[in-house]
Chains A and B, each alone.
Chain A
Amino acid sequence: GAVVSQHPSWVICKSGTSVKIECRSLDFQATTMFWYRQFPKQSLMLMATSNEGSKATYEQGVEKDKFLINHASLTLSTLTVTSAHPEDSSFYICSARTLAGGPGELFFGEGSRLTVL
């Protein structure tokens, strides 16, 4: 299947700093990418839908000014957690869809674990 890569796979930062997570589709073009957050022992929670060249669509309750999403190309979307606080510590996962398909053609990254001290 297609490959989606996230970087970094884990990051530790101090409270108040900003952290950027990259999501790349390595062997296909993705018009749409999704960002999820997952707390321990919980399911994935959709944060936002990112479309190439346009503003991201955020789910209810997700602060768009805190979680900045940029999808500048068909192979790269970035999530920046601004002014991170300990409660932002979580597992962040991106997924990307090929031009061709619906959810059956959805591929997930390996996830990025953020720990805010």
Chain B
Amino acid sequence: DAKTTQPPSMDCAEGRAANLPCNHSTISGNEYVYWYRQIHSQGPQYIIHGLKNNETNEMASLIITEDRKSSTLILPHATLRDTAVYYCISHSQGAQKLVFGQGTRLTINP
């Protein structure tokens, strides 16, 4: 699986868009980009995933650069409940296991 790098922490004001970057410069052609988040003392929660096109769902948007070497997760209107550690993982869809990096600790401030 390709290695991803994320900033260790970020802050965002409540109500603003939170943009979380992720670098995956060694990603291969069949690897997707997945985002999960973990709220304190809970199990991770799936957010979104994509291959090369931008994706949007009810939780977030995922913007993947054309060369696929980086991506940005966008929470359009962050709330206090979005405070969590966000993990970006690049992974082939048929692979057996999911390996987590250190993630970004996002703090939403009132």
Query: Main SS of the interface on chain B?
Result: loop
Would B46 and A49 count as touching, CB distance under 8 A?
no
CA of A82 to CA of B5, assembled, Å = 35
Q: Mark A1-45, 1 if CB is under 8 A from B, else 0.
A: 100101000000000000000000000000010101000000111
Q: A95-B43, A104-B93 are in contact. Are A43 and B32 (CB under 8 A)?
A: no
* Chain A interface category by residue count: 20 to 34
Interface residues of B in 12-49 (CB under 8 A from A): 32, 34, 38, 41-46, 49
Minimum CB–CB distance from B52 to chain A (whole Å) comes to: 15
Q: A49-B97, A104-B32, A106-B98 are in contact. Are A44 and B46 (CB under 8 A)?
A: no
Chain A residues lying within 8 Å of B98, measured Cβ to Cβ, are: 34, 46, 95, 103, 106
